[in-house]
């Protein structure tokens, strides 16, 4: 199954380190950063989950929370969490799904046989409160992810949902954004962007971030 941006994220039930969950019910009205890791007790994953744990407050500021899946058991997850907390100096406070039968991983296309048939690749799905997939990123098992980029992506999605703008290359919070090309009425542009804008080309118009 191939999941595309705009698709409804499939619902499922699964056992986790925080008890059994039904995904859509657990997600509630929050954004969800749902990601897979190849296996417990592995070095790259240990650093990733440790860093994610440290981002709990940053996720909360954005109305978001993390959910993790791998093909290991709840018992293994719980033993591994102790290692994560010890080595990364943090407290893991998000559920890790036990997917020993690979049902969730298969549902979300996280098993890539040509990379490794036995483990999940490093997939990331950003899912909005309507349960729509808004973005996906896939890394090979060997490459650790950049979770600062995931936060930046969340910021962009939430900003562009609320305003008729897009974010340019390497955009960060507080920097100028781009007025969407479909917006052409001068009066509407003036009303929506009272700080003004700079037109480099008719289709390339920079304006200060409207919610700042």
Residues catalogued as catalytic: 45
DSSP codes of every residue in 36-72:
E-S-SS-HHHHHHHHHHHHTHHHHHHTTEEEEEEESS
- Tokens at 134, concatenated: 């808004």
Q: Is 89 left (phi over 0), alpha (psi -120 to 50) or beta?
A: left
* Nearest C-alpha neighbor of 141 from the set 107, 118, 115, 117: 115
* Nearest C-alpha neighbor of 147 from the set 195, 94, 200, 189: 94
- Tokens at 140, concatenated: 């090979």
């Amino acid at each position: 199954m191939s999941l595309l941006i705009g698709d409804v994220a499939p619902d499922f039930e699964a056992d986790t380190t925080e008890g059994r969950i039904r995904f859509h019910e657990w997600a509630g009205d929050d954004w969800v950063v749902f990601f897979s890791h190849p296996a417990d007790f592995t070095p790259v994953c240990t650093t990733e989950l440790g860093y994610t744990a440290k981002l709990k407050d940053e996720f909360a500021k954005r109305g978001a929370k993390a959910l993790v899946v791998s093909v290991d058991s709840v018992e293994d997850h719980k033993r591994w969490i102790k290692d994560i907390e010890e080595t990364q100096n943090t407290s893991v406070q998000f559920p890790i799904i036990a997917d020993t039968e690979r049902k969730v991983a298969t549902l979300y296309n996280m098993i890539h046989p040509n990379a490794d048939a036995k483990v999940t690749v490093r997939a990331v799905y950003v899912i909005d409160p309507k349960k729509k997939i808004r973005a996906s990123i896939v890394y090979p098992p060997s490459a650790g992810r950049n979770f600062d980029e995931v936060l930046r992506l969340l910021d962009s999605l939430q900003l562009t949902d609320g305003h008729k703008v897009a974010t340019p290359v390497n955009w960060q919070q507080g920097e100028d954004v781009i007025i969407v090309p479909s917006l052409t009425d001068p009066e509407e542009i003036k009303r929506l962007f009272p700080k003004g804008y700079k037109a480099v080309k008719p289709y390339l118009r920079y304006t200060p971030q409207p919610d700042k």
